[in-house]
Structures are given as structure tokens and as C-alpha cells.
């Protein structure tokens, strides 16, 4: 019986079809690995087109008002899940940041919840470091894709496209 199993294995190893399937499986695995590793490079086109990266510094995007940053981001295009443009213009996240400081939440389940950074577009931090907040889109009845993400050390990030790209505000 052992000899029969050994002969069966030997026949498989000599079969060109067996090797073709194994090689194709290996190529498929490495192709998927490549896509996974480079996924960040293929997303966040709105921010990437303006800055060359998926994140921006506050100096690139904030406008100054009365000598302090007012958390206003220019040239923002917000699209819904279907890709339909729902807002085009400047976004002022000051009301959302003020609401966060007052510890007020909107009636959306994720408003104020832990942001896990699963997309890995923000700097890596311990679990529970980031929280996400809904930034309402004018004249749009649903929460929309805009979010403000805050960190325990006071860092503030804005995303117009539901975590595809971020603008660092603070």
C-alpha cells in the first residue's frame, strides 16, 4: 500500500498538468499579495491628484482666519457610494471639531465610535487610539462619506471619501 501511494505521488510530480496548476496557484497568490500591498497606491485619487500622496499636511489645505487655522479645506469633491457628486467646494470642519470638544454625538451609530484604521491610511497606533465622527454633507440626508477622525494625542484628520484618503488638520 505504501508503495502504491509512493508511485501515485511520483506520477503526480512527473505530470506537467500537476505542475502547471501549482505554478498558476503560486502566481495567483503573489499577484493577490502584490495587489494587497500596493492597494493604497490605487485609491485616494482626489487627494493624490492634488498632493501626490494619500495624506496631506495641514499647511497644504487649511486656510487661515483671524490668525488661526479655521479647519477649512478648499477644493473638496464629495461623492456618494454610487460615485455621484454630492458636494463640490470648500468644507469647514470647525463645527464638527467644536461638537467633538463638547462631547456631543449625532444620531448615527458610528459617530464617536472607535476607528480601527483597517485601511491603514493613518499612522499605526494602538487599538482604540482613533475615534471617527460624521461630518454632515450639506443638503444630503444621510451621513454621507465625510468623516473627522481624532486621535488621543489631539491629532485630527479629515476624509471626504469614507477613508480612501485623509487630510491631516492637526
For position 123, which CATH number holds?
3.10.450.30
**84-102 in b/e burial notation, b at 16+ Cβ within 10 A?**
eebbeeebebeebbebbee
Domain span holding position 105: 45-168
Angle between helices 16-38 and 2-14 (to 10 degrees): 70
| Number of domains observed in the structure of the chain | 2
Catalytic residue among 7, 61, 63, 162: 162
| Same domain flag for 107 and 131 | yes
41 is a catalytic site residue: no
More confident residue, 117 or 46: 117
How do residues 24-59 score in pLDDT, each as one tens digit?
A: 666 655 544 444 444 443 444 444 444 444 444 444
Cell readout for 86 is: 454630492
| Same domain flag for 33 and 51 | no
| Same domain flag for 136 and 59 | yes
| Same domain flag for 136 and 65 | yes
| Same domain flag for 35 and 51 | no
Question: What is the band of 64 on the pLDDT scale with cuts at 50, 70, 90?
Answer: very low
More confident residue, 15 or 124: 124
Residue 83, pLDDT > 50, answer yes
Catalytic residue among 7, 61, 119, 132: 132
Is residue 141 helix, strand or coil? coil
Q: What is the DSSP letter of 84?
A: -
Q: Residue 58: exposed, middle, or buried by beta-carbon count in 10 A (0-12, 13-18, 19+)? A: middle
| Same domain flag for 33 and 92 | no
Q: d(Cα 77, Cα 79) in Å, to the nearest integer? A: 7
64 is a catalytic site residue: no
Question: What is the band of 133 on the pLDDT scale with cuts at 50, 70, 90?
Answer: very high
Amino acid at each position: 500500500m505504501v508503495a502504491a501511494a509512493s508511485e501515485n505521488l511520483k506520477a503526480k510530480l512527473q505530470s506537467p498538468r500537476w505542475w502547471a496548476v501549482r505554478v498558476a496557484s503560486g502566481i495567483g497568490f503573489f499577484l493577490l499579495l502584490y495587489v494587497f500591498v500596493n492597494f493604497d497606491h490605487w485609491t485616494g485619487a482626489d487627494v493624490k491628484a492634488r498632493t501626490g500622496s494619500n495624506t496631506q499636511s495641514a499647511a497644504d489645505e487649511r486656510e487661515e482666519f483671524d490668525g488661526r487655522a479655521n479647519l477649512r479645506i478648499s477644493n473638496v469633491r464629495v461623492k456618494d457610494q454610487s460615485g455621484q457628486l454630492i458636494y463640490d467646494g470648500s468644507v469647514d470642519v470647525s463645527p464638527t471639531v467644536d461638537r467633538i470638544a463638547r462631547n456631543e454625538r449625532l444620531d448615527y451609530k458610528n459617530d464617536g465610535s472607535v476607528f480601527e484604521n483597517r485601511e491603514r491610511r493613518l499612522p499605526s497606533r494602538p487599538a482604540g487610539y482613533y475615534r471617527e465622527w460624521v461630518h454632515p454633507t450639506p443638503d444630503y440626508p444621510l451621513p454621507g462619506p465625510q468623516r473627522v477622525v481624532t486621535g488621543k494625542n489631539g491629532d485630527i484628520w479629515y476624509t471626504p471619501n469614507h477613508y480612501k484618503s485623509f487630510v491631516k488638520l492637526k
